[in-house]
């Protein structure tokens, strides 16, 4: 909007200069007319034109500087949007993992029912549980790192979304604990997977899974991403 007014002002200045140029043209056409001190008028017109040209140059320089500032701001804002989207994708990876984990548990149960080697089944379970100290920590670390990065770009997570993230991370911790507890009980009761202890653990992990999935699919999935973030005015 500000640039619009600058352009109007510049057009007005050009109109003034054209008017002065018209007077110079009159000087040329009526140079021999008596009663008019055209030399004096010409000097004044020349001086005013020079001042006008100088003002135009200053004005054009200001507009160019303003445009560069706007361009820089737009580039920074675009980078900020990309970082917000990247954080959002990282958050949604928690939801994606729910289905991968559910598939893994089904395969383990299927292997047990099909009387696969107990040694091989236990190897798979141990490998999965080892994620506690590897990928699980990496996922959480990346989520917090990217959340911190939002602040460096003056991006604020809005209230309701911030509360939702806190709830998701808390449920994720409970879910992973129940996921690994269930797998340990499967390994411990590999010949009695229908026992009450195993069934109770299975019900618990499914309950946490549903709670997280509900937040993503019923709450977060229905929100517009633009309502979740605020971008600072100085971007």
pLDDT tens for 196-219 read 999 999 999 999 999 999 999 988
Query: How many Cα atoms sit within 13 Å of 52 on the Cβ side?
Result: 19
User: What's the pLDDT score for residue 36?
Assistant: 47
Say which residue the tokens 């008017």 belong to: 19
Burial of 40 (0-12, 13-18, 19+ CB in 10 A): exposed
Q: Identify the band that residue 8 occupies on the pLDDT scale cut at 50, 70 and 90.
A: low
Q: What is the pLDDT of residues 161-180, one digit of tens each?
A: 999 999 999 999 999 999 99
Residue 58 makes CB contacts below 8 A (sequence gap 6+) with none
Helix axes 196-214, 38-113, angle to 10 degrees: 160
DSSP three-state, residue 151: helix
Mean pLDDT of 23-46: 53
Query: How many Cα atoms sit within 13 Å of 167 on the Cβ side?
Result: 15
CB 192 within 8 A of CB 74: no
Mean pLDDT of 67-82: 63
Query: For the chain, what percent of residues have pLDDT higher than 70?
Result: 66
Q: What is the pLDDT of residues 93-141, one digit of tens each?
A: 999 999 999 999 999 999 999 989 999 999 999 999 998 888 888 998 9
Q: Identify the band that residue 43 occupies on the pLDDT scale cut at 50, 70 and 90.
A: low
Burial of 32 (0-12, 13-18, 19+ CB in 10 A): exposed
Q: Identify the band that residue 152 occupies on the pLDDT scale cut at 50, 70 and 90.
A: confident
Q: Return the domain boundaries, the chain.
A: 2-71, 78-231
Q: What is the pLDDT of residues 79-102, one digit of tens each?
A: 778 888 889 999 999 999 999 999
Q: Which fold has domain 78-231?
A: 1.20.120
What's the CA gap between 208 and 205, in Å, rounded?
A: 5
What's the CA gap between 207 and 201, in Å, rounded?
A: 10
Mean per-residue pLDDT over the chain, rounded: 79
pLDDT for 74 beyond 90: no
Burial of 59 (0-12, 13-18, 19+ CB in 10 A): middle
């Amino acid at each position: 909007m500000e640039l619009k007014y600058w352009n109007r002002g510049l057009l007005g200045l050009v109109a003034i200069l054209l008017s002065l140029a018209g007077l110079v043209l009159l000087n040329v056409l009526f140079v021999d007319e008596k009663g008019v001190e055209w030399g004096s008028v010409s000097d004044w017109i020349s001086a005013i034109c020079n001042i006008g040209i100088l003002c135009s140059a200053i004005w054009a320089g200001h507009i160019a500087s303003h445009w560069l500032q706007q361009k820089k701001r737009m580039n920074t804002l675009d980078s900020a949007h990309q970082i917000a989207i990247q954080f959002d994708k990282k958050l949604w990876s928690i939801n994606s993992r729910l289905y991968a984990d559910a598939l893994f548990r089904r395969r383990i149960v299927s292997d047990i029912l099909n009387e696969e080697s107990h040694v091989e089944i236990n190897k798979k379970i141990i490998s999965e549980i080892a994620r506690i100290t590897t990928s699980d920590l990496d996922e959480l670390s990346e989520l917090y790192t990217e959340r911190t990065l939002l602040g460096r770009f003056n991006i604020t997570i809005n209230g309701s979304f911030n509360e939702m993230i806190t709830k998701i991370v808390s449920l994720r911790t409970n879910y992973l604990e129940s996921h690994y507890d269930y797998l340990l009980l499967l390994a411990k009761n590999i010949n009695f997977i229908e026992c009450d202890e195993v069934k109770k653990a299975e019900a618990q992990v499914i309950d946490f899974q549903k709670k997280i999935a509900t937040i993503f699919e019923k709450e977060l999935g229905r929100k517009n991403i633009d309502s979740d973030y605020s971008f600072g005015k100085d971007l």
